[in-house]
Every structure is written in C-alpha cells, then in structure tokens.
C-alpha cells in the first residue's frame, strides 16, 4: 500500500521516478506548478496542448519524459476536467486513476501537486484528504491468494506519493488532510479485505474475531453474543436464519463512549453480516452465487467505521452492531411458511428464506434499542436485488422514517463521494408485507422490492430515529474506476464515519 506524504518545496526540484502535475480542460497555457514544470521542459506541455494531444479532460493521463531537464525522470499530466464541474470527487477519482497508472508503469516513488488546493479553489485540507483516499483506495487490489504459480508477474507497487507544496502556510492543512484520508482509506481497506475474503474463511466467528482485534487496537468496548444468549433474548428471527448453518451465529456489539456524561447522545450503526447467502431452502440459482460472499458488506462497513471512530474519538456515543450468520439450506434450516417470533414480540411469516437480511436486522435493532437505549439507528445492508434494478451499481438507496437523519446521511454521502439517493416509504406499500397468518410477512412481492424490504425493517424501529441504506448494488464493483477497485468497494464506510462526526458537532 502506498504511503502519502507532504513535503515543502518546489515540484521542479524534486528527484522522483515521476512528478504528477495537472491541467483544467481547454486551458491553453498551464499556470502554477504545472506552468513551472512546463517552462523547465522548454514548453513541452504547452506544445502538446497546442497540438491537441493534451486536452485536460477528466480521466486523461499523459506521460512525458523529462530527458534530464528536471531532476525527476518523468512528468505525468493529469486532466482535471472542466473547472465548472470540478470538486473533491474529481480529485479523489483522479488520484485513484493516477495511482493505478503509476503502478502499471512500475513507478515506485512519485511526487504530485496538491490537485485542487491551488487554482482549483478547494479547501486545502479536504483536497489533501481526497488525494490520500483516492491514491490508497485506487491502488488497492485483493491479491492475497494469487501467487507466481499463477503466472502473475510480481508487479511493482507504488510505494510513496509525496504532495509537494511551495506555500509553507498550507503545509499544516495538507498534513492533517493526509492523516485523515490515510486513516479512512486504511479502514475502508479493512472493509474491502473482509468482503473480498471468501466465505470459507469469513464466517461469523471470524467477523467477531476481527471486531475484537479492532476493539483492542483502537480502544472500543466489545460484546459478542452466541446462540445461547440469543435464545435468552428471544431472538427468534435471527436464530431462524442461523439454524441451517453449521457455523454458529454471532451478534457483535462495538461501543465508542465519546460522550459518557450524556448517554442519550448516541447512534447505532447496524450492518447486515450474512457471511454467505445461498438463499437457504429458497435456494438461489448457481450462476453468480459466489458474489453472496459479499452479503456481510454492511457488517464489514460497520467494523471499519468503528475502527475510524475509535481513532477519531468524536463526542458522541456510537454502537456498532453486526448480526453475523450464514444462510444455508440443510436438514435444520428454516422452511418457507415457518412462523417465527422476533425479539420485539412480533410474529413473522417466513415466506421466502432468501429474504433473510431483514430478519436478522429486525432482532439486531430490537437488541440495541433495549440493551443500550439507542435513539438513532442507521442500518446498512446488501438487502435487495431490486435496488440494483432501480439504481444500478452507482448509487446506494436510502430510506427511513426520520427525514432529518436521512438528510444527514445524504449530506455525508455528498462529502465522501459515495453516491446515495432517497426512495419513498409511503404507507401504501405496507400492505404488500401483510401476512394471513402472522403479524408481518418477510416478502412484499416484486413491485418496489427495496421499499417493502425497508418497510419490513421499519416494523422494528418504533421509538428511534431511523435510516436504512441498501448497498446491494454498491458494495461490490465489477471494474475499477477512480477510487473504486475491482471487487469490494468499502461503501459506505466513509459516509458512516462522516455522518457520526457531523452529528457529534450538531
């Protein structure tokens, strides 16, 4: 993993394998640090611009050899896109693209301008944070199980990216932004590693073990409930999902006591931790089923967020809750038509054993309400295929019953670049979850499947402010793009941390 540093000085004086400069679209003569590099190169950048070979478009990366005119071997010109649509998202994304470009070219040590912090007009600290996040997250690849026996080349990695700044007044802000960005990227990488890990390794006990390591590392309290304690608490819905698997369930609770004098200043983040979702007896089809190793992505994002929260210590009490189970078909598995009693006392008709996420979240939410008097709950779940139909692989669906909390989630997502959009929870949809035999049914049919799933969870959120994030489309990516790598994305860990920090101030 590359480290990102800050150094004071002039980028034209830096000896590195490459220096990275930038350019807005349709700028004819480069200014600032890019201008200085252009002059040192006897106008090479401006003549490439004049010839139309460099346009400054977003995503455009051009490599120029310095041929001894600079201490650095190569100059990389990264396009910033149009100045009118420029922002932190472009900086994060560009940094990810550049990190992979550098790796592909075997560049180990590079220096860069603080994209956006100069002519771009962005806040210096925020720009540095975005560079660190984009670089570390874009460079990430899950290579743990690939060996040279596979014919893979032992690829050179980017070791170090130094942000070079000539204005000494900006150094402190740059350093602090890089520190925050590196911490968040590091925690998002923990999330990605957990999600990419196959389900023969990442089972409920393993999730609890990782959570315990995180708790020890950053100083959080941890409680882990097993099957016996779940029975004592009457968690019939969570236990029903778990009963088909030989891997025992765990209910993991991490606690950050950031405001001990005011216990009511709290929030619970509750993440679905289905370590593999076969569908149970309502078995999924074989094609693509391997992706269901990512069905604990919500839970992993909560563990990653709690790690960052433990380090950043916001003045608010935070409970990270992860119901961790495996959804398997077996002789002990639950059946369609089974009726179970949730911890809240409500009875549930299990119409489809593949709608298991909402069952485990129901009991996890009831537990944290009762055990810790949580008064705000945000749940995060790879909950429905329907959210992929609605929003594709770009945008997380946000629903809930507290508009202020939803607005806070959406505002946090704007700051982190993890795109989110709200869907409505109109009462009219509720009748789809009605059961002939029990208080509620765990499926609502095909129409508005993400909304009826959310409304089911809403049956267990009485008395708390509640928001729900459906990340079924955004927890994994088929391709790399900007700060997103192939496989697990780490979404929405950074948004959860931002939300908690924002709430701790207001």
Which residues are at the interface with ligand BES (CB under 6 A)? 277, 295, 352, 354-357, 382-386, 443, 449, 472
> Which window, 140-148, 189-197, 274-282, 385-393, contacts Zn ion (CB under 5 A)?
274-282
CB of 455 to Zn ion, least distance (A): 17
How far is CA 285 from each of CA 236, 279, 327, rounded to the nearest angstrom? Answer: 27, 9, 14
Q: Please give the structure tokens belonging to residue 490.
A: 């780490």
Q: Distance (Å, rounded) from C-alpha 489 to C-alpha 497?
A: 16
Residues 260-319 that bind Mn ion (CB under 5 A): 277
**Residue 113's binding partner, choosing from Zn ion, ligand BES, Mn ion, none, with beta-carbon cut-off 5 to 8 A by kind?**
none
The H or E element spanning position 503 is helix 493-505
Which residues lie closer than 8 Å to 392 by C-beta, 6 or more apart?
Answer: 473
DSSP conformational letter for 342: -
**Closest separation between CB of residue 342 and ligand BES, Å?**
17
Cβ nearer to ligand BES, comparing 255 with 418: 418
Report how far Cα 406 is from the mean position of its chain's Cα atoms.
17
For Zn ion, the binding residue among 17, 277, 326, 465 (CB under 5 A) is: 277
Measured from the CB of residue 348, what is the shortest distance to Mn ion in angstroms?
Answer: 15
Tell me: does residue 379 bind Zn ion (CB under 5 A). Answer: no
Could you tell me the end-to-end alpha-carbon distance of the chain, in angstroms, rounded to an integer? 35
Size, binding site for Zn ion by CB under 5 A: 4
Residues that contact Mn ion, how many (by CB under 5 A): 3
Does position 351 bind Mn ion by CB under 5 A?
Answer: no
Distance CA 16, CA 9 (A): 13
Of residues 197 and 354, the one with the C-beta less far from ligand BES: 354
Where is 235: in which H helix or E strand? none
Instruction: Give the residue with the Cβ less far from Mn ion, 284 or 481.
Output: 284
**Smallest gap, in angstroms, from Cβ of residue 297 to ligand BES?**
8
- Core vs surface per residue 202-235: b (16+ CB within 10 A) or e: bbbbbbbebbeebbeebebebebbebeebeebbb
Q: In whole angstroms, what is the distance from residue 238 CA to residue 494 CA? A: 27
Tokens coding 82? 């149009």
- As measured in angstroms, the least distance from the Cβ of 486 to ligand BES is 16
The answer to whether 144 touches 101, Cβ cutoff 8 Å, is no
- Could you identify the residue written with the tokens 């000539």? 166
- Annotate each residue in 294-333 with x if it binds Zn ion (CB under 5 A) or - if it does not, as one string: -x--------------------------------------
Segment interacting with Mn ion, rule: CB under 5 A, options 92-100, 353-361, 364-372, 472-480: 353-361
Instruction: Please choose which of Zn ion, Mn ion, ligand BES, none residue 385 contacts, taking the beta carbon within 5 to 8 angstroms, the exact cut-off set by kind.
Output: ligand BES
Asked whether 188 and 494 are in contact (CB, 8 A), the reply is yes
Q: Which residues contact 347 (CB under 8 A, 6 or more apart)?
A: 339, 340, 341, 438, 439, 440
Q: Which does 329 bind (CB under 5 to 8 A by kind): Mn ion, Zn ion, ligand BES, none?
A: none
Q: Which is nearer to ligand BES, 94 or 472 (CB)?
A: 472
Give bridge partners of residue 69 from the DSSP assignment.
none
Decide: is 204 part of the binding site for Zn ion (CB under 5 A). Answer: no
**Residue 384 interaction partner, one of Zn ion, ligand BES, Mn ion, none, beta carbon < 5-8 Å per kind:** ligand BES
Spell out the SS3 assignment of 63-131. EEECCCCCCCCEEEEEECCCHHHCCHHHHHHHHHHHHHHHHHCCCCEEEECCCCCCCCCCCHHHHHHHH
Q: Which is nearer to ligand BES, 170 or 192 (CB)?
A: 192
Decide: is 133 part of the binding site for Mn ion (CB under 5 A). Answer: no
In terms of CB distance, is 274 or 406 closer to Zn ion? 274
CB of 278 to Zn ion, least distance (A): 9
Planar angle of CA 157, 159, 161, nearest 5 degrees? 120
- Residue closer to ligand BES by CB (options 99, 202) is 202
Alpha carbons 203 and 245: distance in angstroms, whole number:
10
- Name the residue whose CB lies closest to Mn ion: 354
Active site residues: 284, 358
Out of 133, 354, 363, 470, which residue is the one contacting Mn ion (CB under 5 A)?
354
Q: Smaller CB distance to ligand BES: residue 179 or 339?
A: 339
Please state the closest distance from residue 291 (CB atom) to ligand BES, in A. Answer: 6
Phi and psi angles of residue 357, each rounded to the nearest 5 degrees, phi first: -60, -45
Of 81, 134, 177, 357, which lies in the binding site for Zn ion, with binding defined by CB under 5 A? Answer: 357
The least distance separating ligand BES from the CB of residue 347, rounded to whole angstroms, comes to 18
Say how far apart CA 18 and CA 229 lie, in whole Å.
57
Torsion angle in degrees (nearest 10) through CA of 162, 163, 164, 168: -130
Q: Which residues here bind Zn ion, judged by CB under 5 A?
A: 274, 277, 295, 357
Q: Which residues here bind Mn ion, judged by CB under 5 A?
A: 277, 354, 356
């Amino acid at each position: 993993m590359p480290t990102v540093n800050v150094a004071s000085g002039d980028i034209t004086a830096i000896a590195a394998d490459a220096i990275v400069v930038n350019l807005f679209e349709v700028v004819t003569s480069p200014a600032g640090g890019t201008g200085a590099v252009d002059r040192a190169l006897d106008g090479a950048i401006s003549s490439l611009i004049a010839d139309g070979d460099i346009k400054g478009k977003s995503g455009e990366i051009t490599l120029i050899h310095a041929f001894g005119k600079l201490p650095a071997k190569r100059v990389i010109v990264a396009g910033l896109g149009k100045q009118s649509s420029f922002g932190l998202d472009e900086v994060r994304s560009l940094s990810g693209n550049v990190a992979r470009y550098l790796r592909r070219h075997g560049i180990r040590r590079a220096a860069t301008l603080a994209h956006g912090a100069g002519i771009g007009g962005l806040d210096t600290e925020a720009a540095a944070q975005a560079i660190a996040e984009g670089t570390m997250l874009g460079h990430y690849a899950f290579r743990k199980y690939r060996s040279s026996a596979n014919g893979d080349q032992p690829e050179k990695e980017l070791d170090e990216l130094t942000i070079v700044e000539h204005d000494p007044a900006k150094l402190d802000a740059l350093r602090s932004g890089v520190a925050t960005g590196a911490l968040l990227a590091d925690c998002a990488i923990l999330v990605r590693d957990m999600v990419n890990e196959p389900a023969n390794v990442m089972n409920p006990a393993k999730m609890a073990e990782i959570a315990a390591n995180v708790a020890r590392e950053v100083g959080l309290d941890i409680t882990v409930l097993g099957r016996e304690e779940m029975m004592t608490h009457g968690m019939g819905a969570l236990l029903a999902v778990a009963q088909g698997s030989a891997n025992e369930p765990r209910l993991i609770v991490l606690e950050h006591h950031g405001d001990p004098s005011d216990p009511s200043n709290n929030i619970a983040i509750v993440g679905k931790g289905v370590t593999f979702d076969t569908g149970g007896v309502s078995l999924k089809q074989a094609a693509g089923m391997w992706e269901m190793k990512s069905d604990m992505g919500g839970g992993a994002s909560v563990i990653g967020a709690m790690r960052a929260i433990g380090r950043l210590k916001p003045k608010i009490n935070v409970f990270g809750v992860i119901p961790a189970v495996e959804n398997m078909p077996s002789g002990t598995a639950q059946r369609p038509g089974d009726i179970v009693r949730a911890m809240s006392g409500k009875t549930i008709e299990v119409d489809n054993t593949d709608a298991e996420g909402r069952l485990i979240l129901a009991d996890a939410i009831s537990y944290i309400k009762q055990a810790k008097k949580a008064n705000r709950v945000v749940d995060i779940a790879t909950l429905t295929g329907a959210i992929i139909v609605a929003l594709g692989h770009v945008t997380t669906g946000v629903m809930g019953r507290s508009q202020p909390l939803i607005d806070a989630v959406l505002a946090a997502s704007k700051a982190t670049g993890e795109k989110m959009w709200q869907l409505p929870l109109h009462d009219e949809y509720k009748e789809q979850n009605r059961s002939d035999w029990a208080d509620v049914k765990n499926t609502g049919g095909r129409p508005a499947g993400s909304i009826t799933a959310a409304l089911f969870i809403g049956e267990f959120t009485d008395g708390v402010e509640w928001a729900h994030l459906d990340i079924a489309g955004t927890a994994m990516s088929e391709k790399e793009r900007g700060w997103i790598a192939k496989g697990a994305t780490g979404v929405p860990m950074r948004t959860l941390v931002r939300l908690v920090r924002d709430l701790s101030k207001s």
